[in-house]
Structure 1
């Protein structure tokens, strides 16, 4: 399945390439999307390719990250406004492993690390039904683990899509493949 369209950019990528089967986003040097809850740091420079999501939807993809520095990541993103958004990422850690992390921002960012990734890729999924949003991850794209449950005020409707970041580095690339987008309600509790 190809990328949903039409799409829009928030902060263009240093490089990008898309076709019906894959999307590669390369984030430039010192690119981030985070509001430190202790104050003193706000960043909104990561490249994001977004589309207007249906009221109820499911978006999943396999994400592979070429990380060179701590916090390099490839993410699924949700955007309601400049102060209200969320992301689900495969992110490099200080010990060079990759972890599944999630960030929910309502003024400031609430950041949570879930579990380590085997290798350099994992499947990520976001689903929304009746105003409730679930984040998921899967090693094989079939058996899913719930990462987080949340809500975001929809405003004029949520934008959903793809992002890459390199907050402490000189750039990072994320490869997104095996896209699935359903503009309809799914059973959020079905993990198969």
Structure 2
């Protein structure tokens, strides 16, 4: 009888041990930490950087842009290595996603105007100095002063929504040009000027980007052995142009 009673007590003890919900160590609690479960990955484009220029802090770098950037007073020089470009070709033959771009974050729920004097080193076809509106590799637009197929220098814009379009605008003979991107939260306008007084409209479209976007500067050399672009008189303000046709 004594042995039978001891066996019954042992069985009850084992059953109680199997049904307990209290962990013996902290491992199970840490594995299901709610704070870890809700942690979101960093979706910012490119790599972290800290390039300060003309009161603007560029905090993200695409394709090694920060390593190719030099700031000297009020001049930012950005170098593109050989065969660097951003273009999502509709048939894929010319697609390239290697251009160096410096980016600064912008609240797109508020107006903004981004302006810079752009002076590219024109050495080969499609060499260009560029301003960007950027979200991710398949959603961006660039506004460029570029050398075309006939060695002419002209204003060019490319809007990418999955694939890229390609728009050649006015031909210029100037060494440098002022480029401006402006938004009132509903509309984005692209403008160029030789004197910062008279602005010419290059492109106008609906601002259907999300609340947070990135503005940037870039240099490209898709066909060449590399080149540099100088950016100066750069500014980023929390206002928009008052006339989207005149750019003023």
Question: In the alignment, which residue of structure 1 is the partner of 2:84?
Answer: 31
Distance 2:210 2:107 in 1: 13
Mapped to 1, the partners of 2:58 and 2:230 lie a distance apart of 20
Of stretches 66-75 and 15-24 in structure 1, the one that deviates more from structure 2 is 15-24
**Is there any run of 5+ residues in structure 1 with no aligned partner, and where?**
none
Q: Which residue of 2 aligns with 1:46?
A: 99
Contact 2:189 2:247 in 1 (8 A): no
Within the alignment, does 1:101 sit opposite 2:156 as a pair?
yes
Q: Size of the alignment, in residue pairs?
A: 192
The answer on whether the counterparts of 2:107 and 2:211 sit within 8 Å (CA) in structure 1 is: no
1:66 aligns with 2:121: yes
More strand by share: 1
Q: Flag as ranges the 4+ runs of structure 1 deviating above 4 A.
A: none
CA distance in 2, matches of 1:3, 1:28: 27
| Greater per-residue helix proportion | 2
TM-score, normalised relative to structure 2:
0.72
What do the CA deviations read for 1:72-130 (whole angstroms, capped 9, x no partner)?
00000110222110000000122222110000000110110001122221110000112
Q: Post-superposition shift, 1:183? A: 1.9
Name the counterpart of 1:9.
61
Render the CA deviation track for 1:115-166: whole Å, top value 9, x for unaligned.
1122221110000112311110111111101100123542351100100100
Rg larger in structure:
2
How far apart are 1:3 and its partner, in Å? 4.2
Q: Measured at CA, do residues 24 and 6 of structure 1 come closer, stay the same or move farther in structure 2, by a change above 3 Å?
A: closer
